[in-house]
Chains A and B, each alone.
Chain A
């Protein structure tokens, strides 16, 4: 997809004025964090599992080449096929070649962020193959020609009235007067329309939450059951997975599964966790005849051994989205590419370049909630700071911004000067804001005050107040 991450500020401004989006984000903020909190509170071992989960992933990353080889060997021994893809274009080529060999005209799809990352739908369409999204959220946004705005809830930016309008526009063979006011009716309509598509598809594409080296298995975690119908009813099953999805054993993946659903939706366990290993066996009466795994690198191998390695522990639960004040204010589309939220702010610059995506690591208040809820303990704020440093080193920000940063750095390195300057500033702002208690606009900060008021300081800096208090105590 065409990235618009460089337009983050414009995208965000637009998002803040979008009433439907703000209503939808209100629901997200109300529900997601509470559900996770309740699920975590119910499992006393949760913190221990986090530490162990992190250790599993760290161990795998230190041996990733060997685990990938072991995984490949196992898949092949089960008559599956492994296709290595260094970049997105190569992954698209693999998928298209498999679809062509299968003589496919339609392809059903389970939810996959790798599919979004490589832009597989556009590629298949251009080549005369119709991809059909079957996850309800993905189906809705496919009809609307949109991209997912959240990695686990792709249509979270919409309210149900918008979904109803979309269905009325797309399903023109149905009675235009039918009632679609409730989520129940929308679900039933999608279910009825997609059932025959599952049964008719030649190829089914799913993602993978995990790959198990011990058994050569791919695992999908879903609630709808669409991923299962996708992979079971098609003749050919293609799994799209990035190389860091590997986990050593079934025991290890059990630990990570305990963390995933609780962090993502606050469920004890997702409805369907499906472990697939190779194509149907000779004695089986159903299942796909072919099983292909496309292993995508796309810049990940270059993250190993760098300050961004920890990002490869990510299990894509979306908890960092659900707890981020910036995501909660502007939604996922403002981020301008496949991955939004805090994890996207770290991963996107790696995948499409810091020049295009430099705004994203700056779109953070550094409040640290993302890191505190991350089941894999990924230090997201620290890595955003690394990106800011790289951006500065490469002279990617505007001159005025760089001059401002330099001036601030100069002040910060001269404590007496810093204190004097901030005391004057605080006194001045405190005096001029004494009436209203806040500023509607400020010189040099109009961009900031355009969307919010600046509270007036009390007139004395923290340092000054602290010094005064210490003095009082001493006397």
Chain B
């Protein structure tokens, strides 16, 4: 309904007392949108060296009931995952996103683990995904959608296991955006937002009944994060 569009924009301009073609205002907006100027970023994470930043991420994630395992290299990931499954008495069937970042993991070293690459269904108990980045400030994971990382895998399985490298831990959300813009510009020639960016801080929860926090409202009941210290190979 083009009428309403014109009506709303017309009302706004009348209230703002200016016309549709105010060049100064238009330039202000164009510049503001292009410059990506950060506002104040809390010193909590920016002031830290890389090791302290990883420790802050772990502390903040654990504070919101995520569990974290830190391993030296990709070879240790299958054991870390198997330990987690055993600890929670979970079956060894898992759905895993076909994320190339996860391909160095030597799953065959634990033949009892059974991995199904692809999209999660409502019945999957355990899902494994990668992540784009992680934000130390609040223990938040940053996941992006794409052909190798369907969004529903972050929400449907009861147990969400996220595997990422320590160097993916950034201080702030702003640094996450900067890295995303850089990656997309590099791979696609220009920056386009992925269909979905999920910031995930701990497992699903609700406090809708008497403000009592209960985990596992609709999304995962548990969130387990495996951090690999080894940098990416080239």
Contacts and interface: CB of A to CB of B under 8 A. Distances in A.
B122 A284 contact: no
A135 interface: yes
Q: Which has the most chain B C-beta neighbours within 10 Å: A67, A199, A251, A281?
A: A251
Given A187-B217, A216-B193, A271-B205, 10 more contacts: A62-B25, A65-B13, A86-B7, A154-B208, A183-B212, A194-B218, A249-B36, A251-B177, A270-B201, A273-B198
A224 B217 contact: yes
Contacts of B15: 301-306
B211 interface: yes
A45 to B, nearest CB: 5
B202 A70 contact: no
B173 to A, nearest CB: 4
* Interface-central residue, A68, A84, A159, A280, by most chain B CB under 10 Å: A84
Interface stretch (A24-32, A338-346, A425-433, A462-470): A24-32
Nearest to A55: B39
B52 interface: no
A226 B28 CA distance: 38
Contacts of B199: 269, 272-275
Interface of B: 1, 4-5, 7-9, 11-13, 15-17, 20, 25-26, 28-29, 32-33, 36-40, 42-44, 60, 63-64, 118-119, 122, 138-140, 145-147, 150-152, 154-156, 172-174, 177, 192-212, 214, 216-220
Given A65-B20, A287-B145, A249 B219 contact: no
Nearest to B143: A274
| A31, A158, A255, A272 — most chain B CB neighbours (10 Å) | A272
A215 B193 contact: yes
7 contacts: A45-B43, A90-B4, A155-B209, A248-B32, A276-B196, A277-B196, A303-B15
Interface in A130-154: 134-137, 140, 153-154
A305 B13 CA distance: 10
A226 B195 contact: no
A228 B151 contact: yes
Contacts, number: 265
A159 B210 CA distance: 6
B178 to A, nearest CB: 9
A278 interface: yes
A265 interface: yes
B60 A268 contact: yes
A163 B177 contact: no
A73 to B, nearest CB: 11
Contact of A183 (B145, B201, B204, B214): B214
B209 A228 contact: no
Contact of B196 (A153, A250, A255, A275): A275
Contact of A271 (B37, B42, B60, B200): B200
B194 A277 contact: yes
Contacts of A28: 211
6 nearest A-B pairs in the assembled complex, by CB-CB distance: A225-B219, A224-B217, A304-B15, A137-B208, A301-B11, A273-B199
B36 A191 contact: no
A7 interface: no
A329 B37 CA distance: 43
A84 B210 contact: no
Contact of A251 (B43, B154, B174, B210): B174
Interface string A86-123: 10001000100000000000000000000000000000
A70 B29 contact: yes
A257 B39 CA distance: 12
Contacts of A229: 152, 155-156, 218-219
Interface string A190-222: 110011101100000000000001111100000
* Most A CB within 10 A of own CB, among B210, B211, B217, B218: B218
Nearest to B65: A271
A83 B33 CA distance: 23
Contacts of B1: 83-85, 90, 94
B33 A225 contact: no
A140 B201 CA distance: 25
Given A70-B33, A243-B8, A251-B36, A272 B208 contact: no
Contact of A286 (B119, B122, B173): B119
Contacts of A277: 193-196
A52 B40 CA distance: 8
A68 B9 contact: yes
Given A269-B201, A304-B12, A274 B196 contact: yes
Nearest to A140: B208
